[in-house]
Structure 1
Amino acid sequence: MMNPWRLRLLSRLDTLGTIRAVAKAANLSPSNVSQQLALLEAETRTQLLERTGRRVRLTPAGLILARRARAILDHMDAVEAELRGLGEEPAGLVRMGAFQSAIHTMSVPAVTRLAREYPRLTVELLQLEPHESMPALRGGDVDIIITTTNFDELPLGPDLDLVPLATDPILLVTPLGHAAAGRGTVDIAAYADEPWAFDMPQSYMANLALRLCRQASFEPRVVCRFSNYLMTLQHVEAGLSIALLPGLAVDRRYRVATRALATPVTRTITAAIRRSGRSTPPRAAVRVVLDALRHNPHPPMPGHD
């Protein structure tokens, strides 16, 4: 008999790529993960792992089992959840991962409404950027994610249900008194010599902003980097920089101006859940959260001052 918990570790190894990453996700030590996978090899009487230098990778048999394991675990979880949820209103814990600007504009309003309508349902919010949320969803660490499907090479497949929620324009954000704080669209090439505020290296917005600047034929002079959009807005408000930000990230409490780009750039905001129901809460609970996100009245986009 194969141990379901060890099968989940093997599946995570296929998704995350390293023993260390699996250990971190499962809150175990790397040696413990290795021991459990060795026991799984003994249970299956099959070599599932092989070493290449200091790394471990799945053998062809390991790859087959890891991918079949997802279907096995999904079916077990779906049956268990269905039995728990028979005849009950949506209840339990649903874990939602969302990127920074979607938390206060989409997640929090939806969760507030759900708390009133379904008191037995708890939604746990986790900040996960797009490159983090898809592996977390597939690995079973969250039950639903809000992510972006433009520009990022997301590994999508038939195991996921995707629901578009909104489109969000990328805007030039400047101090109120800045020369760019006018009306109409703007060509960012005109501001090649400005000081720029960027997100952290290799993040979604840092990569996108750098690509847009280079498409406009200049290398931006980056004077600060923040992982928090509110800190970026504060820096811009103080007149120390300008920035490219998604419309949802521009908090109206900050005295900044926004301009649409002459060549429009938008991102599609999408919710994703596992199609086969591999989650701890009943399927109905996940669907209720998804419906709340779909019908949430998103705030209007910032005006173009």
Structure 2
Amino acid sequence: MMNPWRLRLLTQLDALGTVRAVAQAANLSPSSVSQQLAVLETETRTQLLERTGRRVRLTSAGLILARRARVILDHMDSVEAELRGFGEEPAGLVRLGAFQSAIHTMAVPAVTRLAREHPHLDVELRELEPHASMPALRAGDVDVIITTTDVDELPLGPDVDLVPLATDRILLVVPPGHHAVGRGAVDLAALADEPWAFDMPHSYMANLALRLCRQARFEPRVVCRFSNYMMALQHVEAGLSITLLPGLAVHHSRYRVATRELATPVTRDITAAIRRGSPPRAAVRVVLDVLRDHPAPESAQLLGPRDVR
């Protein structure tokens, strides 16, 4: 008899790559994770792991079991939800991961509507940036994610289904009295001498902003870095910097800032993603439907209903 908890540890090892990463995700010690995986090998009577130097990797049998385990665990979640709601309506727990600028504009309104329309459905909302949300989805830590699909940043695979939600524009954000205000679309090359606020190194927006500045043939003078868009907007509002932000992140009602389109438009596709395998349970389907049907924020263009691809 295979233990579902140990199967989940195995799927996390497949997704995260190291025992240490699995231990951090599961709030366990690495030795405890190794011990539980060894027990799983005993339960299955199959070698699932092999050691290469200091690292542990899955054998061919381990890879097969990890892929099958995701389907098994998803099916168990579906059965549990059906028992809880007696099949009458979506029920159970759905874990939804979303990046920072989509939390208040897309995820919270969807969760609010779900709470009103489906009282037996529990949605656990987690802030996960795109570089972290896809591994969390594959590991089974979340059931649905709102993410961006920049192929260079997030390689996709046959194990993930995508549901298009919206297209978001990347905007230049400046103080109200800045010389770029009122000029229409802006060429970044004209801003080479400006002080810039950037996201944290190696994040999606930091990488994108740096790439756009370099394409405009200058190295930006970065005077601050914030992991929170609200802090970046406050810094710009104070006249201390300018920045590039997704349209979803800019709250004109809260901050006195001005935005300008870029001369060469840049957009990002926002999608929901789920694990591919057995048909998604009713609770996951209704979360996807509400996300897709919710009105797009002013800064984003809503995509029409489409089939999962």
**Structure 1 residues 8, 267: CA separation in 2 closer, same or farther (over 3 Å shift)?**
same
1:264–1:270 Cα change, 3 Å: same
The answer to whether the 8 Å contact 2:90/2:286 transfers is yes
- What is residue 198 of structure 2 aligned with on the other side? 198
State the Cα distance separating 1:269 from its structure 2 match. Answer: 0.4
> Which amino acid is the alignment partner of residue 259 of structure 2?
T
Q: For 2:277 and 2:9, locate their aligned partners in 1 and report how far apart those are by CA, in whole Å.
A: 18
Change (3 A) 1:2 1:119: closer
Percent identity reads 82
Which deviates more, 18-27 or 88-97?
88-97
Question: After the TM superposition, which parts of structure 1 deviate over 3 Å for at least 4 consecutive aligned residues?
Answer: 71-87, 275-279
Work out whether residues 78 and 277 of structure 1, in 8 Å CA contact, stay in contact via their aligned partners in 2. Answer: no
What residue in structure 1 maps to residue 29 of structure 2? 29
DSSP 3-state at the match of 1:269: strand
State whether structure 2 residue 275 is matched by structure 1 residue 274. yes
Aligned residues: 299
What does residue range 262-301 of structure 1 map to in structure 2 within 5 Å? 262-276=263-277, 283-301=281-299
2:11 is aligned to: 11
Q: Does 1:88 align with 2:88?
A: yes
Contact 1:77 1:278 in 2 (8 A): no
Query: What is the letter of the counterpart of residue 260 of structure 1?
Result: E
- Output the amino acid matched with 1:175: P
For the aligned residues, what is the CA RMSD? 2.0
Displacement after TM superposition at 1:234 (Å): 0.3
Contact 2:84 2:91 in 1 (8 A): no
CA contact (8 A) 1:185 1:261 kept: yes
Distance 2:275 2:115 in 1: 23
Cα offset for 1:249?
0.5
Is the 1:140–1:278 contact (alpha carbons within 8 Å) kept by the matching residues of 2?
no
SS in 2 for 1:71: helix
1:26 deviation in Å? 1.7
CA contact (8 A) 1:98 1:126 kept: yes
Structure 2: give runs of 5+ residues left out of the alignment. Answer: 301-309
- Name the CA distance, whole Å, in 2 between partners of 1:237 and 1:152: 32
Aligned partner of 2:304 in structure 1 is: none
Which residue does 2:73 correspond to in 1?
73
Query: Is the partner of 1:165 in helix, strand or coil?
Result: strand
Offset of 1:139 from its aligned partner? Answer: 1.4
Residue 232 (structure 1) aligned with residue 247 (structure 2): no
8 A contact 1:167–1:267 mirrored in 2: yes
Output one character per residue of 1:187-223: Cα deviation in whole Å (capped at 9) or x when no partner. 1011111110000011100010011111111111110
Local SS of the residue matching 2:124: strand
Superposed, 1:1-305 pairs within 5 Å as 1-252=1-252, 253-276=254-277, 283-301=281-299
- 1:37 is displaced (CA, Å) by 1.0
